[in-house]
Amino acid sequence: MTGQGYKGDFDLFIIGGGVNGCGIARDASGRGISVGLAEMGDLGAATSSASTKLFHGGLRYLEYLEFRLVREALVEREMLLRAMPHISWPMRFVLPVKADMRFEGGTPVSRIVATFMPWLKGRRPPWLIRTGLFLYDHLGGRDILPGTRSVDLHAEASGTPLKPEFKKAFEYSDCWIEDSRLVVLNARDAASRGATIMPRTEVVSAHRDGSQWRITLRNATQEWQVRAQMLVNAGGPWAGAVIKDVVGTQSGDQVRLVRGSHIVTRSLFDHKKSYFLQGTDGRIIFAIPYERHFTLIGTTDLDHPDAATPPVCTDEEADYLIDFASQYFKEPLTRADILWRYSGVRPLYDDGASSATAATRDYVLKVDDAGAPLLNIFGGKITTYRKLAEAAMAQIALHLGNRHGDWTAGKPLPGGDFPVQGFDTLVTSLLQRYGFLDKPWATRLARAYGTDAFLLLGDAQASDQLGSHFGHEITAAELDWTITHEWVETGDDFLWRRTRLGLVTSTAEAAAIDDYIRRSLQTGKIEAAAS
């Protein structure tokens, strides 16, 4: 892992190692710009590991007439899928419909329908949903993903777990994305192109010094300064705090913090499709097959007080999700079914919308060039992170010079250099080369590391050559790989962000993994990823 060229002087310095900061770092370093990035926690530890994990156009945003955002995101789905066929894959969504389903109050489309079809009385009829799905299928174009079809829920497996009152559904396509792996693979790619990635490093202050920024950084052991020509604020939920407290400037633009929570239960169904469920309040939630044995249900939309308040899924939010899902599934859910919950804060651009649900999900970039330039990032989605990075580069080029054109479209992330349809072939190759793997193990490694799984496993002829085993096919070789290439420094980094194996490991197994990682770093047995 490179940190080459680190002299404390950068062309571009990025505050924040979420998907947007790491996406910009990758794009910029690939254009020959020297980049430093500081993340005060683990990479992706904030919002970018707490999403619903979909590369999606956002069907519901059509009701807000957000055509620019939806179209861009729809086009991006397949672009991103091609560049990372290990951590992203197509998913089918089953959307049950009934005549009495209702609109979210006050959306532009609900107002239009109320004006011209008052007899619908706030109902969202199936034909309108089908029209939305027609647009969804065609707005962004599709080569890989199949289009919408109608489903007889009484005749297909996807109807089996649902209450019999649900007879009809539409089924459409979007994609899954392993959100926190997306962040770390962007950081890896940036580092391989010369960026200096510094997790666990807080930007304490940044001041203009002539035409440059003087930036004070702090980690667990020291405080030091670097200089940069341009600064990017990709602080996500902290973007407002960065403007006010770190840089000490004013901005007319604000982030609106909107909390979203998820619950995880045992698998509620035994097929691979997901559900898009409409509630009596007009909101929607997803129920998605998750990590082999579980179902992921979310999300909520609630205003969150400030970035300093850690987001948690409250009992009220958990009950809301349970009640919502129980309106659909034959077997009602209770709190006892919840195995894990998590919550994240959407750093939305504050467009003055009346409700958290209605606030725009589009991104807004603002340059403050009263001296050395500062680029503030507001909003955005995981799905649009690459386009956001390109838009940021267009602004950055105005100040640092246009050294290189856009280059990231379709360019594989580490381990993603195989065809979209080639995942099963990759698993078969791993099974052939490493006779000691079984299919679930090979599949997990292929999903997490793609073609890099061969590098991780090296010349091993037998599983005991991978070092200690920690349960659930976790070996010392895998931990060593993530320490060396993915900035892993604690058990939680590995169990909850590089993987989600925290869902299946026991307390004792998690402690042994944490201990191994910390001892490896302390003794210098394994070289940490460079910063």
Ligand X SMILES: Cc1cc2nc3c(=O)[nH]c(=O)nc-3n(C[C@H](O)[C@H](O)[C@H](O)COP(=O)(O)OP(=O)(O)OC[C@H]3O[C@@H](n4cnc5c(N)ncnc54)[C@H](O)[C@@H]3O)c2cc1C
Chain contacts with ligand X (rule: CB under 6 A) = 15-21, 38-41, 45-48, 50-54, 56, 202-203, 234-238, 242, 246, 260, 299, 344-347, 380-383
> Rounded distance, CA 220 to CA 471, Å?
31
Nearer to ligand X (CB atom), residue 381 or residue 444 = 381
Nearer to ligand X (CB atom), residue 299 or residue 451 = 299
| Least distance CB 299 / ligand X (angstroms) | 4
Phi, psi of 376 (to 5 degrees): -100, 135
Nearer to ligand X (CB atom), residue 242 or residue 427 = 242
| Least distance CB 55 / ligand X (angstroms) | 6
CA distances from residue 123 to 128, 459, 507 in whole angstroms, order as listed: 10, 61, 48
Residue among 490, 425, 433, 428 at smallest CA distance from 456: 433
Nearer to ligand X (CB atom), residue 12 or residue 345 = 345
CA angle, corner 496, sides to 323 and 57, nearest 5? 60
| Least distance CB 145 / ligand X (angstroms) | 16
**19 exposure class (CB count in 10 Å sphere: 0-12, 13-18, 19+):** buried
Phi, psi of 304 (to 5 degrees): -115, 140
| Least distance CB 164 / ligand X (angstroms) | 30
Nearer to ligand X (CB atom), residue 3 or residue 422 = 3
Residues 473/444, Cβ–Cβ less than 8 Å: yes
Helices and strands of the chain, counted as H and E runs: 14, 18
Which two three-digit tokens encode residue 354?
A: 């009346």
Which two three-digit tokens encode residue 44?
A: 């992706």
CA distances from residue 528 to 187, 352, 378 in whole angstroms, order as listed: 14, 45, 32
Nearer to ligand X (CB atom), residue 113 or residue 175 = 175
| Least distance CB 196 / ligand X (angstroms) | 14
| Least distance CB 361 / ligand X (angstroms) | 7
> Rounded distance, CA 311 to CA 309, Å?
6
Residues 472/479, Cβ–Cβ less than 8 Å: no
Residues 389/413, Cβ–Cβ less than 8 Å: no
| Least distance CB 306 / ligand X (angstroms) | 13
> Rounded distance, CA 153 to CA 98, Å?
12
- Which residue has its beta carbon closest to ligand X? 18
CA angle, corner 108, sides to 107 and 111, nearest 5? 90
| Least distance CB 43 / ligand X (angstroms) | 7
Q: Estimate to the nearest angstrom the gap between the alpha carbon of 364 and the chain centroid.
A: 18
> Rounded distance, CA 260 to CA 304, Å?
9
Nearer to ligand X (CB atom), residue 81 or residue 456 = 81
Nearer to ligand X (CB atom), residue 260 or residue 416 = 260
| Alpha helices in 450-506, H assignment, sequence order | 452-457, 476-485, 491-492
Nearer to ligand X (CB atom), residue 162 or residue 345 = 345
Question: What amino acid occupies position 36?
Answer: G
Nearer to ligand X (CB atom), residue 177 or residue 446 = 177
Contact partners, residue 316, CB within 8 Å, separation at least 6: none
Residues 236/373, Cβ–Cβ less than 8 Å: no
| Least distance CB 247 / ligand X (angstroms) | 10
| Least distance CB 122 / ligand X (angstroms) | 26
Q: Strand, coil or helix: what is 291?
A: coil
| Least distance CB 114 / ligand X (angstroms) | 29
| Least distance CB 85 / ligand X (angstroms) | 18
> Rounded distance, CA 28 to CA 14, Å?
10
Provide the pairing of β-strand 9-15 with 54-55.
unpaired
Which two three-digit tokens encode residue 432?
A: 């052939």
Nearer to ligand X (CB atom), residue 347 or residue 373 = 347
Q: Estimate to the nearest angstrom the gap between the alpha carbon of 42 and the chain centroid.
A: 14
| Least distance CB 402 / ligand X (angstroms) | 24
